[in-house]
Amino acid sequence: MLSLIRNMLSDKSDDFTFHRFNQSNKISLKEKSGLYIHIPFCKNSCPYCPYIKTAYNKDLAQEYKNALLKEIRLYHDYFGKRDFTSLYIGGGTPTLMLNEMEDILGHLHKYFNIEGDIAIETSPNETNKKDLAKLKRLGINLISIGIQSFDNRYLNKIGRNYNMHSALKALEDVNSIGFDSVNIDLIFAIENQTIDDIKNDLSKAISHNINQITCYPLFTFPFSEIGKIKQLKKLKLPNHLHRKKMYYFINKFLSENGYSRTNVWSFIKNHKNNFSSVTRDYYLGLGASSGSYNGETFYFNTFSLSEYIKSVNSKFPISIAMNVSKKLEKNFWLYWQLYNTTINKNSYKELFQANIEKDFKFSLKLIKMIRFIEHEDENIIKLNTKGSHWIHLVQNYYALKYVNKIWSVSKNNPWPDKIKL
């Protein structure tokens, strides 16, 4: 079934295989690209987290900063002083490198032009007024705090090293600084969690005037600790029907409290800047395990910190790359528009010089026929809750099947010869 769908969405040239990157190959960058930096350090290793992370070490953090500065200069020497539409700093817990952040951002502003928002992730344990004020002085205007829950029972279940009071204090501190947008992450579909528990979490967030709330289900990547526990039958997550009820409740509750959906997971109010980590058409990733995409090729840097630090002395730290046909590029764009729950017809026309209603006649007809559409006008197609729910199921399947394969191989081999998806 998967092969049939892939054949429909791609050309014969698409082999869905990442190959070892050849340093002699040309790298290109689209004009309107975002910039991502990965900071891999954590003080608390959450068992559900699939991302590349390591225990914080001051000396290693200094080495990593120096490597990032070298990678920035490598791309500047290659592309010149390019414009980027935004900067997203993720992890890990990026604010653990707060002392190094001034040098990193200084280098970025010296060698590139960052025209839009600068966003960063953090956690309650790394959130205090002094550090938050420094982030704002550095020009960071969007922030996301990984709260995950305000219930100590579930914080313990997912391995977080703080309690409800620390989480609430973090919200008070971040509100006092005045960022353009504050997002918090919450997790649902934890073992034994009820809809009333989710309601309590959402109510606490709303009572602190948080303008964006992102609600993820508990992902269980097979290579993560929670994924391994699940495989050993020691973890019982809510069944699909109960999880669906949770998802519909979150949508209804937040809508009734003045929030509107900005993607399948996120809800915002007061029309403030939208905090989003993934929804750029094209992007360049810096740091160990970072991904890049230019519409023609996907790239991944080596996942090994030591290999990353060594490699930037003489070459790009890219380990693998996969070419993408124009047809697959268009389908990938549509996928992320569906993830955003809003298809912008004019954006498609501007990007591809083509008519979306002609190129995706069958797909658009299908989502209308199965009643995924809430609203449509000359430019916008907006998904309803049913459509968003089904897209989130596709997201889960995509993540578990494809991301898990890339991550699993790359974590064990810093320079894989190939990864067949």
Domain hosting 175: range is 19-268
What pTM, to 2 d.p., does this model score? 0.92
For residues 258 and 268, the answer to whether their CB atoms sit within 8 Å is no
**pLDDT higher than threshold 70 for residue 222:** no
Amino acid 6: pLDDT:
72
Q: Among 221, 248, 268, where does a domain finish? A: 268
Go through 128-145 and write b for each residue having 16 or more CB atoms within 10 A of its CB, e for each that does not.
eeeebebbeebebbbbbb
Residues 80, 186 within the same domain:
yes
pLDDT, mean over the chain: 90
Residues 55, 155 within the same domain:
yes
Rounded Cα distance between 120 and 143, Å, is 5
Give the Å distances, CA to CA, from 99 to 89, 103, 144, 182, 280.
14, 8, 19, 22, 28
Give the Å distances, CA to CA, from 244 to 153, 170, 223, 400.
22, 30, 25, 18
Amino acid 226: pLDDT:
47
Give the Å distances, CA to CA, from 400 to 98, 220, 335, 405.
32, 8, 16, 8
Amino acid 267: pLDDT:
96
Rounded Cα distance between 308 and 285, Å, is 13
**pLDDT higher than threshold 80 for residue 348:** yes
Please state which of the ranges 10-14, 112-116, 153-157, 316-320 shows the lowest mean pLDDT: 10-14
Residues 209, 348 within the same domain:
no
Q: Among 219, 240, 268, where does a domain finish? A: 268
Give the tens place of pLDDT for each residue, 162-214.
999 999 999 999 999 999 999 999 999 998 999 999 999 999 999 999 999 99
pLDDT category at 232 given cuts 50, 70, 90 is: very low
Residues 36, 142 within the same domain:
yes
pLDDT category at 236 given cuts 50, 70, 90 is: low
CATH of the domain at 371: 1.10.10.920
Amino acid 317: pLDDT:
98
In 3D, which of 374, 392, 140 has the Cα closest to residue 250?
392
Rounded Cα distance between 74 and 151, Å, is 45
Please state which of the ranges 104-108, 199-203, 273-277 shows the lowest mean pLDDT: 273-277
User: What tokens appear for 129 in the block?
Assistant: 């007024």
Give the tens place of pLDDT for each residue, 53-81.
888 999 999 999 999 999 999 999 999 99
Amino acid 68: pLDDT:
98
Mean pLDDT throughout 337-366? 94
Please state which of the ranges 48-52, 87-91, 295-299, 335-339 shows the lowest mean pLDDT: 48-52
Residues 189, 55 within the same domain:
yes
Q: How far apart are the first and last CA of the chain?
A: 14
Amino acid 233: pLDDT:
52
Residues 330, 255 within the same domain:
no
Q: Is 348 within the bounds of a domain?
A: yes
Give the tens place of pLDDT for each residue, 302-316.
999 999 999 999 999
Amino acid 270: pLDDT:
79
Amino acid 53: pLDDT:
81
Residues 259, 370 within the same domain:
no
Q: Among 228, 244, 268, where does a domain finish? A: 268
**pLDDT higher than threshold 80 for residue 276:** no
